[in-house]
C-alpha cells in the first residue's frame, strides 16, 4: 500500500498542528483521497500486523444492526469497549442507522437492503449508497460517550459515514467518505472494512471486483503517534494477501467469520499505539 505510506509522509511534512476533542492534539491535513484495485490483492496493511478478526467481526456486527458490545466481546473484539456503558450500550450508532434508520411514522428503513436490491435490479443507478449521519442522534460533545448512550444518542458520531457503490463492466467499486480519519489506527481498519463489504456485496450480486476509493476530510496523525508512524515508514511494504470467500451465504446478513480466509498475509510486526478517547 504505497499510497497509504505516501499519505502518512504527506501529513508529517504538511500537517498543521491542531487541538482536538480528545485533548491529544494532531497533525492534520484536509481533503485527501486514495484508491486501490481489489484485483491486485486485499488491502490489509503489511507494514504492521492488523487484527483482521476484529475488522471482519466489526463489519458483521454493523450488518447485524447491533449496537451493544456483548457480541463483539464474545467474539474477541474489544475496539468499542472504551466508549460503551457498563452494560455495553453505544446508542444508535452505525448498525442502527444502516439497517433500521428510524422514520417519522415509527417505522424503519434498511439501507443495506436497498443497496443489495438496487445493485441487482438497477446497477446503473447513481443512488446506490447508505450513510450513518443521522443528525437527530448525534452526540452532545459536552458529555461523555456513555452519558450520550444512556440518553439515546450515539456514543460517538460516525467517522466512516457514507458508502457509495458503482458498477461498470460488471465490476463493483466502492467509495467511502471518512469525515475524520485517524491515519495510524482507524484508517487501515476502515480501508479493510469497506473492502470486506465490497467483496460480500459483489458475491451476493454476482459481480466482479473493481476499486475501493477512500476520501478523507480531516486526515490526521495524533501527536502521540508520530514515532510509531516514523517507524512504520521505515518498513518496506510486502505483497498483499488475497481474500477468499469460502461459501456464498443466503444473504448479506448470513456471513460468519469462518467464511473469510486471508491467504498469504505476511506482515511486519504489530506497532502498539494508544487510542485517544
177 is in an annotated binding site: no
Residue 195 annotated as lining a ligand binding site: no
Q: Flag whether 235 is marked binding.
A: no
**45 vs 192: CA distance, rounded Å:** 9
56 is in an annotated binding site: no
Long-range pairs, 50-58, Cβ under 8 A, ≥24:
50/188, 50/189, 50/192, 50/267, 52/192, 52/262, 52/265, 53/77, 53/257, 54/78, 54/79, 54/189, 55/189, 55/192, 55/193, 55/196, 56/196, 56/257, 56/260, 57/257, 58/189, 58/193
Ligand-binding annotation for 179, yes or no, is: yes
The active-site residue out of 159, 183, 207, 212 is 159
H or E stretch at 273: none
- The reply to whether 222 sits in an annotated binding site is yes
Q: Is residue 262 annotated as involved in ligand binding?
A: no
Q: Cα–Cα distance between 174 and 237 in angstroms, integer?
A: 24
14 is in an annotated binding site: no
Per the listing, cell 460517538 goes with 156
Catalytic site residue 159?
yes
φ/ψ of residue 260, rounded to 5: -110, 130
Does the annotation flag 79 for ligand binding? no
160 annotated ligand-binding residue:
no
Q: Residue positions in the annotated binding site?
A: 21, 51, 126-127, 179-182, 190, 220-222, 276
Active site residues: 159
Q: Residue positions in the annotated binding site for dUMP?
A: 21, 126-127, 179-182, 190, 220-222
Amino acid at each position: 500500500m504505497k499510497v497509504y505510506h505516501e499519505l502518512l509522509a504527506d501529513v508529517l511534512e504538511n500537517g498543521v498542528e491542531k487541538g482536538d476533542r480528545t485533548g491529544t492534539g494532531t497533525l492534520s491535513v484536509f481533503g485527501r483521497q486514495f484508491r486501490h484495485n481489489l484485483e491486485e490483492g486485499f488491502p490489509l496493511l503489511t507494514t504492521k500486523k492488523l487484527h483482521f478478526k476484529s475488522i471482519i467481526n466489526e463489519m458483521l456486527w454493523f450488518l447485524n444492526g447491533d449496537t451493544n458490545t456483548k457480541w463483539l466481546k464474545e467474539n474477541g473484539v474489544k475496539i468499542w469497549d472504551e466508549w460503551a456503558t457498563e452494560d455495553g450500550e453505544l446508542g444508535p450508532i452505525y448498525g442502527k442507522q444502516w439497517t433500521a434508520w428510524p422514520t417519522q411514522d415509527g417505522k424503519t428503513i434498511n439501507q443495506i437492503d436497498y443497496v443489495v436490491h438496487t445493485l441487482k435490479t438497477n446497477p446503473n443507478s447513481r443512488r446506490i449508497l447508505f450513510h450513518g449521519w443521522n443528525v437527530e442522534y448525534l452526540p452532545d460533545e459536552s458529555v461523555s460517550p456513555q452519558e450520550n448512550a444512556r440518553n439515546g444518542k450515539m456514543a460517538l458520531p460516525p467517522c466512516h459515514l457514507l458508502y457509495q457503490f458503482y458498477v461498470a463492466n460488471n465490476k463493483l467499486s466502492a467509495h467511502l467518505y471518512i469525515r475524520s480519519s485517524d491515519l495510524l489506527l482507524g484508517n487501515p481498519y476502515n480501508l479493510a472494512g469497506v473492502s470486506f463489504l465490497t467483496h460480500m456485496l459483489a458475491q451476493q450480486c454476482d459481480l466482479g471486483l473493481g476499486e475501493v476509493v477512500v476520501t478523507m476530510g480531516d486526515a490526521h496523525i495524533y501527536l502521540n503517534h508520530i514515532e510509531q508512524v516514523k517507524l512504520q515508514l521505515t518498513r518496506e511494504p510486502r505483497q498483499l494477501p488475497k481474500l477468499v470467500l469460502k461459501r456464498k451465504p443466503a444473504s448479506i446478513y448470513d456471513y460468519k467469520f469462518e467464511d473469510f480466509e486471508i491467504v498469504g498475509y505476511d506482515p511486519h510486526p504489530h506497532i502498539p499505539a494508544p487510542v485517544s478517547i
